[in-house]
Structure 1
């Protein structure tokens, strides 16, 4: 029996790493010199780790306005994530796109597809409002067009 995905399944979309889109992390609420925020965009085995306390956030700036159907967030210990967007060039006046509760995974990464409903943005703000521990990490964010 052959399995086919429905046309709207986000896994049918093209995944793009943030670095391939010319995106950069331009703001982060915390940083560790061994695990800096830019590790989120490099698409390798590196990661960004918070330094404790909540909320934690980071802002990704795209090289140009980008339309996204969804993002995949690979993380550890994230409990609740809020995603906001703006089309302004100066990262101001963000509006809520979505919020999602992540399930707790012990000993392995959380991988969550978060629908953005075809949002177009120059900046995305990811706000981790709570975690399952004092520290969280974000290993990769990819965009589905």
Structure 2
């Protein structure tokens, strides 16, 4: 499995788009996982607009970065199941309008071990009737590769509370 600093949501890494709420033959949804910000998926109006990216293997998600235009609010949900169902809310975030430029949004995640096999992204509001998504990047660790949190120090290890002098 690739290291945590590599985008897991790339077609070349085995990711695929499992579902989308709209399609445009000139700007297909597969463009969001090709790694190229010059290609994009264009929504066909109305909100919310959703898409589901299925990763090749479960990932403990540490960061999601979305490159888009005219999206005013994102929500992200994850599912660790083999098939994309039983999603849990991971993050919500408002996005400032970039006046025709690309918006690069790093979603604020509540914790660093959000297990996901599928990521559902929803543009719930827009700064205009149409929006584009240029790139979805999902970063994380293989679930068994999580860095363990060290146990709290104990008196036996010399890290406990001070012992009063007698």
Over alpha carbons, which structure has the higher Rg? 2
- Structure 1 stretches lacking a partner, 5+ long: 1-12
**Of 7, 25, 37, the match for 1:16:** 7
Backbone CA RMSD of aligned residues: 1.3
**Of 22, 31, 40, the match for 1:47:** 40
Distance 1:17 1:111 in 2: 17
- Structure 2 stretches lacking a partner, 5+ long: 141-166
**Of 86, 89, 102, the match for 1:93:** 86
Asked if 2 retains the 8 angstrom alpha-carbon contact of 1:31 and 1:51, the reply is: yes
Distance 2:92 2:9 in 1: 20
Distance 2:82 2:108 in 1: 23
**Of 124, 128, 133, the match for 1:133:** 128
What's the offset of the Cα at 1:121?
0.5
Deviations 1:56-115 (A, max 9, x none): 000000111012211110000000111000111111111100100001110210001113
What's the offset of the Cα at 1:17?
5.4
113-122 vs 101-110, which deviates more?
113-122
Q: How does 1:78-117 map to 2 (within 5 A)?
A: 78-116=71-109, 117=111
2:54 counterpart residue number: 61
Q: What is the TM-score of this pair, normalised by structure 2?
A: 0.76
Deviations 1:19-41 (A, max 9, x none): 24421111000010000111000
Aligned residues: 133
Q: What is the TM-score of this pair, normalised by structure 1?
A: 0.87
Asked if 2 retains the 8 angstrom alpha-carbon contact of 1:38 and 1:48, the reply is: yes
